[in-house]
Amino acid sequence: MTDITVSIAGGESKTFPAAVSAQDALKELVSNKQRKQAVAVLCNGEPMDLSVSLTADAVLEPVTMKSEEGLHILRHSSAHIMAQAVKELYGQDVKVAIGPAIEDGYYYDFDREVSFTPDDFAAIEGKMAEIVKARLPFERCEMPVAEAIEFFDKQGETYKVELLKDMDTEIVSLYQQGDFIDLCRGPHIPDTSWLKSFKLLRVAGSYWRGDEKNPMLTRLYGTAFFDKKELKRYLNRLEEAKKRDHRKLGKQLRLFTIRDEIGPGLILWQPRGAQLRRLIEDYWKDEHYRHGYQLLYTPHIARQDLWKTSGHLDFYSENMYSAMEIDEVAYQLKPMNCPFHIGIYNADKHSYREFPIRWCELGTVYRYERTGALHGLMRVRGFTQDDAHIFCRPDQLEDEIFNIIDLNLHILKTFGFDEYDVYLSTRPDKYVGSDENWDLSTEALKQAMDKKGLAYEIDPGEGVFYGPKIDIKIKDQLGRSWQCSTIQVDFNLPERFEMTYTGADGAEHQPIMIHRALMGSLERFIGVLIEHYAGAFPLWMAPEQARIMNITDDQAEYCKKVYADLRKAGVRIEQDLRNEKLNYKIREAQIMKVPYMLIIGEREKEDGTVTVRKRNGDNLPPMPPLEFADMVRRECEEGIKIA
């Protein structure tokens, strides 16, 4: 055992006997210097896999360098170094705003007359490398807010001044490396040389404090890692993710297209995409029927008065398309399906004995989205919700929520998603309905999730004004999480539309209404599916399950017969009988991610068989065509999970 020399941010170091643990050594070093925060430890000159951060209460929290928190600290420091580089390069032209670490990296917002472009990256990265090489220590100091305001005001850093003015503490901490001093809570790496590998990634605009009334700043995004290999792995992952991008695959696999002459945010489903969608829809409808739902169809427009009654004109008009006049009456495109389902409810008188009523519809709605928000299939202007409305009595609420969650998770699982983030959004400041009802239904949502064993976070005050809700987000390959499922209790519409049922007591009561969508919208869900499977869909939802191909023209007639037989047997098969080499045909089928290729040469023709090549390159022994059809059927049945 050798003695250990421990160094911390600011450059202090001390040698301790080997018997002292690094943690204790550090504690002593830190307390001696009365530092409130420090991070990272150099032990005998080598980085140890340990760092610490001290909270204001001087509680020592060891953090491994390789941990999320260690990485976070590194990236935060990298943001400071980037800001220093920018200030050194562009000096007085630039005001700094804020620069936190985020998932996968960090950013820093700048205010500059001329925006940055990726062309500036090389210069900034070069300057950062110089700063790293200079081994500048990160030094912490504290000062009263008033003093800090004066300090930053003198330098014209108006954003820092604004931040300081909003702070309710008396003392703030500043961090300095080289000549660059930034308002910061810390902690940071001991000195700039700790930043071994970093890269600027992109430039984007963002509003000061996220408010579009504020000035637009230029945001530089970057990332940093403890070693170059990890950075490389990260950049490779970004490349991989790009290859899975549903917009790229959607084009390559001929699933959907968006065209200027049709309009932005409006999806055209090509035959393969339409096939995929139909398979999903069929599965969805069958599963809903099995779970006691009834299917509805409703129109796309309704009289404007309907939207007045529903409150959409008051609360949602920004998202609605302008009215059209039909026989001197105003009509509007539907942004939601609910009022139509309520129309169906109100067409009859109802008894408590009918409940729960579960009505579902693949309902296409149109919502105005700002051009900058549109994104492939993920964010569009016309989309089809897998909508349902459940009408029930208060005592049925919890069971119904449970059933919905159960069906929800089951359907997500069938599509291969078993990881998601779940949020429970509670009563906002402005709301309708009684407190009693809110408490009752929030409790019902909680109970149902607990019963299902579903872990969730609470989003306080984020509920819709008409009721609490559960949101389930699934993550795509780029790490973005997409809200798909949503379950919302509604106290508003039953009231507005004067919905009633006759209770056991013979009196009229108001039903509880639940809105829910499991996939959210078919567009978004299919977008997520494309990225999830990188376009290589499981057999049961593959638009083209098999492609038959001949080696020479001599097998063309046999191929046509097998093709016809397999189509009749329910296999989604296409044929490639072109005068091309087998390699060429396989390559094309491979690019289109067709699960099975049926290869037909003289041997297969003689024996009346097909040779099956799987998408992964494996071959199955030759088999009669109908045996292949059975195999496909069995594999599909395994894929479609029925609950």
- CB contact at 8 A, 481 and 520: no
- Given a contact cutoff of 8 angstroms between Cβ atoms, the answer to whether 532 and 417 are in contact is yes
Which stretch in 22-30, 38-46, 66-74, 584-592 sits in contact with RNA by CB under 7 A? 584-592
379 binds RNA, rule: CB under 7 A: yes
Q: Is 580 in the site for RNA (CB under 7 A)?
A: yes
Q: Candidates 587, 627, 638, 643: give the one binding RNA (CB under 7 A).
A: 587
Task: Rule CB under 7 A: choose which of 99, 463, 520, 535 binds RNA.
Answer: 520
- Binding residues for RNA, total number by CB under 7 A: 68
Sequence-distant (≥ 6) Cβ neighbours of residue 186 within 8 angstroms: 37, 39, 53, 138, 140, 173, 175
State how far the Cα of 28 lies from the Cα of 23, in Å rounded to an integer. 9
- Residue 426: Cβ within 10 Å count: 18
Give catalytic status of residue 338 as yes or no. yes
Q: Which residue shows structure tokens 């009456």?
A: 329
Backbone dihedral region of 608: left (phi > 0), alpha (psi from -120 to 50 degrees) or beta? left
Three-point CA angle 396, 397, 399, nearest 5°: 70
Q: Is 515 a catalytic residue?
A: yes
Q: How far apart are CA 149 and CA 147, in angstroms?
A: 5
Q: Which of 13, 67, 193, 206 touches RNA by CB under 7 A?
A: 206
Among 166, 168, 212, 505, the residue binding RNA under the rule CB under 7 A is 212
Cβ–Cβ < 8 Å for 520, 485: yes
Whether residue 385 lies in the annotated active site: yes
The span from the CA of 281 to the CA of 297, in Å, is 14
184, 338, 454, 484: residue in contact with RNA (rule CB under 7 A): 484
Tell me: does residue 253 bind RNA (CB under 7 A): no
Q: Cβ atoms within 10 A of the Cβ of 127, count?
A: 18
End-to-end CA gap in the chain: 61
Token digits for 240? 């991989």
> Cα 321 from chain centroid?
27
The dihedral over CA atoms of 206, 210, 211, 216, expressed in degrees to the nearest 10, equals -20
Q: Is 583 exposed, middle or buried (0-12, 13-18, 19+ CB in 10 A)?
A: exposed
> In this complex, which beta carbon is closest to RNA, that of residue 284 or of residue 501?
284
Instruction: Let me know: does 146 contact 172? Beta carbons within 8 Å.
Output: no
243 binds RNA (CB under 7 A): no
SS3 of residue 514 by DSSP: strand
Q: Does 370 bind RNA (CB under 7 A)?
A: yes
Q: Does 133 bind RNA (CB under 7 A)?
A: no
Q: How far apart are CA 1 and CA 17, in angstroms?
A: 9
Contact 138, 191 (CB under 8 A): yes
Q: Would you say 168 or 261 has its CB closer to RNA?
A: 261
Cβ distance to RNA smaller for residue 122 or 591: 591
Question: Strands (DSSP E) along 233-306, which ranges?
Answer: 256-257, 268-269, 294-295, 301-303
CB 255 within 8 A of CB 270: yes
Judged by CB under 7 A, the residue of 37, 84, 197, 218 near RNA is: 218
Q: Does 310 bind RNA (CB under 7 A)?
A: no
> Which of the residues 182, 386, 387, 471 is marked catalytic?
387
Stretch that binds RNA, among 26-34, 82-90, 157-165, 258-266 (CB under 7 A): 258-266
Please identify which of the residues 389, 427, 524, 572 carries the catalytic annotation.
389
Decide: is 430 part of the binding site for RNA (CB under 7 A).
no
Q: Is 313 in the site for RNA (CB under 7 A)?
A: no
User: Does 422 contact RNA by CB under 7 A?
Assistant: no
| Integer Cα distance of 571 and 626 in angstroms | 10
| The only residue of 17, 144, 264, 461 in contact with RNA, by rule CB under 7 A | 264
Shortest distance (Å) from residue 215 CB to RNA: 8
Question: Stretches 13-21, 204-212, 352-360, 445-453: which one binds RNA (CB under 7 A)?
Answer: 204-212
Shortest reach from residue 28's CB to RNA, in Å: 42
591 binds RNA (CB under 7 A): yes
The stretch near RNA (CB under 7 A) out of 227-235, 272-280, 285-293, 516-524 is 516-524
Give me the catalytic one of 515, 516, 532, 572: 515
Q: Which of 246, 469, 524, 605 is catalytic?
A: 469
Q: Does 87 bind RNA (CB under 7 A)?
A: no
User: With binding defined as CB under 7 A, does residue 554 bind RNA?
Assistant: yes
Cβ nearer to RNA, comparing 135 with 587: 587
Q: Is 367 or 532 the residue whose CB approaches RNA more closely? A: 367
322 binds RNA (CB under 7 A): no
- 202 contributes a contact to RNA by CB under 7 A: yes
597 binds RNA (CB under 7 A): yes
Q: How does DSSP assign 340-401, residue by residue? A: HHHHHHHTS--BGGGPSEEEEEEEEEE----GGG-BTTTB-SEEEEEEEEEEE-GGGHHHHH
Which two tokens mark 216? Answer: 């637009």
Tokens of 86: 């920018």
Stretch that binds RNA, among 17-25, 128-136, 169-177, 602-610 (CB under 7 A): 602-610
List the one residue from 374, 422, 569, 626 that touches RNA (CB under 7 A): 374
**Cα–Cα distance between 252 and 257 in angstroms, integer?**
10
Query: Which tokens in the block code for residue 184?
Result: 């910061």
Candidate list 146, 216, 268, 324; residue touching RNA; CB under 7 A: 216
The answer to whether 78 and 224 are in contact (CB under 8 A) is: yes
Q: Is 72 in the site for RNA (CB under 7 A)?
A: no
Displacement of CA 434 from its chain's centroid (Å): 34
State the burial class of residue 307 (Cβ atoms within 10 Å of its Cβ: 0-12, 13-18, 19+): buried
CB 90 to RNA: min, Å: 15
Residue from 385, 477, 488, 555 carrying the catalytic annotation: 385
Residue 244 contacts RNA per CB under 7 A: no
Residue with tokens 């003198």: 154
241 sits near RNA (criterion: CB under 7 A) = no
Residue of 367, 379, 446, 524 marked active site: 367
- State yes or no: is 387 an active-site residue: yes
Shortest Cβ 278–RNA spacing (Å): 19
Catalytic, 469? Answer yes
Specify the residue, 391 or 466, whose C-beta has the smaller distance to RNA. 466
Residues forming the site for RNA (CB under 7 A): 115, 117, 202-207, 210-212, 216, 218-219, 247, 251, 258, 260, 263-265, 367, 369-376, 379-381, 383, 385, 471, 483-484, 486, 517, 520-521, 523-524, 551-554, 579-584, 586-587, 590-591, 597, 599, 601-604, 611, 613, 617, 619
**Among all residues, which ones are annotated catalytic?**
338, 367, 385, 387, 389, 469, 515
